[in-house]
Amino acid sequence: MASLTPISKTQFLFNKPHLKSSSPCLETFFQSSLVSKRLSFQFKVPISDRMPLKAATVVSATTAEKPKKRYPGEAKGFVEEMRFVAMKLHTREQAKEGEKEVKEKEEEAVRKWEPTIDGYLKFLVDSKLVYDTLEGIVEKAVFPFYAEFRNTGLERSEKLAKDLEWFKEQGYTIPEPSSPGVTYSQILQELSEKDPQAFICHFYNIYFAHSAGGRMIGRKVAEQLLEKKELEFYKWDGDLSQLLQNVRDKLNKVAESWTREEKNHCLEETEKSFKHSGEILRLIL
Ligand code: HEM
């Protein structure tokens, strides 16, 4: 399961990496915060910015053949940077690379995992609203590059419509969307019009989280509540790993034209993505 609560701001790391090495107070802040030491270390200022000119020249000469990558995952492309930040926000229980501590009672409830059909229906309805919104945004393409992300094969809206129809046929009443889905959908709409880098962070996290942890959840719910029926939500037309790779390639290409500040701004948005997706996931319980 994901970190289902917001965690402390990692913003310093992205905006002001130099503060890490210059202020003892901030050192304490980083160590006491939920941000992992490994993550804060990785975002330290590049050596060349801290060294006297002479030393810096030596560094750049030795690194000329093999340029040093300053951000975790950077060498593989921007998606790997987004993935790195996202994986740290999982708990260890959720994923091997997770580093978020499980502290609060609510998270313990999530760990115990007692899903109900009513809760699951709420989750599916709110998820559909979020996917409707994402898929509408790329269709409209207020920023022309959004059009790259049409018809990727990862779309979930129609699949969810089929699943909800199936539940209806089984005699269940389909609820109206609830606050977590409505709020997230509004946020996505606004970001997509004003802040494309932040929007892309949500786009990545929503589709990729569903293909990983989302599927695990689907399997568990199917076992416990649906006599192992596999919902359409968890089926893709074509080879999922290839579909994901195609989207990774497009995201990497888009981010190539972003400045470092724009990339950092995108990475900073990851926490918000976990917060809102976490609120929707929690509807299952
Ligand atoms: C119950 C909740 C969750 C569970 C159990 C879970 C678990 C996992 C697991 C097992 C992986 C695969 C790790 C690997 O590649 O080895 C993963 C990947 C990932 N998760 Fe989660 N996760 C959850 C929620 C979330 C949430 C809320 C988000 C963000 C909205 C998120 C974002 C991601 C991303 C971006 C990846 C990388 C996918 C990829 O590289 O293809 N996850 N998760």
Closest-CA residue, ligand 1 atom 32, reads 209
Residue 64 belongs to a domain = no
Q: Which two tokens stand for residue 156?
A: 């979930």
Q: Are 4 and 106 in contact (CB under 8 A)?
A: yes
Q: Which two tokens stand for residue 135?
A: 């898929």
Q: How far is the CA of 85 from the centre of ligand 1 (A)?
A: 11
| Cα 141–Cα 146–Cα 152 angle in degrees, nearest 5 | 115
Q: Which two tokens stand for residue 178?
A: 């609830």
Among the atoms of ligand 1, which is closest to the Cα of residue 244?
Answer: 41
- Percent of the chain clearing pLDDT 70 (strictly above): 73
Residue 178 belongs to a domain = yes
Residue 165 belongs to a domain = yes
Residue 236 belongs to a domain = yes
Q: What is the DSSP letter of 227?
A: T
Residue 6 belongs to a domain = no
Q: How far is the CA of 273 from the centre of ligand 1 (A)?
A: 12
Looking up residue 273, the CATH number of its domain turns out to be 1.20.910.10
3-state secondary structure of 2: strand
Span 58-84, average pLDDT: 75
Residue 55 belongs to a domain = no
Residue 132 has pLDDT above 50, yes or no: yes
Best residue among 76, 110, 208 to mutate for probing ligand 1, ranked by most atoms within 8 Å of CB: 208
pLDDT digits (tens, 9 = 90+) for 224-267: 999 989 999 999 999 999 999 999 999 999 999 999 999 999 99
Q: Is 205 a pocket residue for ligand 1 (Cβ < 6 Å)?
A: yes
Q: Is 277 a pocket residue for ligand 1 (Cβ < 6 Å)?
A: yes
Q: What is the dihedral of CA 112, 88, 27, 202, to 10 degrees?
A: -110
Q: Is 89 a pocket residue for ligand 1 (Cβ < 6 Å)?
A: no
For 98-102, 180-184, 274-278, which range has the lowest pLDDT when averaged over its residues? 98-102
Q: How far is the CA of 252 from the centre of ligand 1 (A)?
A: 19
How does residue 101 score in pLDDT terms, banded at 50, 70 and 90? confident
Number of domains observed in the structure of the chain = 1
pLDDT digits (tens, 9 = 90+) for 162-177: 999 999 999 999 999 9
Q: Whole-model pTM?
A: 0.80
Q: How far is the CA of 212 from the centre of ligand 1 (A)?
A: 5
Q: Is 3 a pocket residue for ligand 1 (Cβ < 6 Å)?
A: no
Residue 11 belongs to a domain = no
Closest-CA residue, ligand 1 atom 5, reads 1
DSSP 152-214: -S---HHHHHHHHHHHHHTTPPPPPP-HHHHHHHHHHHHHHHH-HHHHHHHHHHHHHHIIIII
Closest-CA residue, ligand 1 atom 13, reads 95
- Domain of residue 165: give its range: 113-284
Q: Are 152 and 211 in contact (CB under 8 A)?
A: no
3-state secondary structure of 97: coil
- CA–CA distance, 183 with 202 (Å, rounded to integer): 14
- CA–CA distance, 207 with 253 (Å, rounded to integer): 18
How does residue 6 score in pLDDT terms, banded at 50, 70 and 90? very low
Best residue among 84, 90, 277 to mutate for probing ligand 1, ranked by most atoms within 8 Å of CB: 90
- Percent of the chain clearing pLDDT 90 (strictly above): 69
Chain mean position to CA 211: 11
3-state secondary structure of 90: strand
Best residue among 76, 94, 134 to mutate for probing ligand 1, ranked by most atoms within 8 Å of CB: 94
Closest-CA residue, ligand 1 atom 12, reads 212
Span 57-85, average pLDDT: 75
Residue 247 belongs to a domain = yes
Q: How far is the CA of 58 from the centre of ligand 1 (A)?
A: 41
Q: Across the strands, what pairs with 100?
A: 91
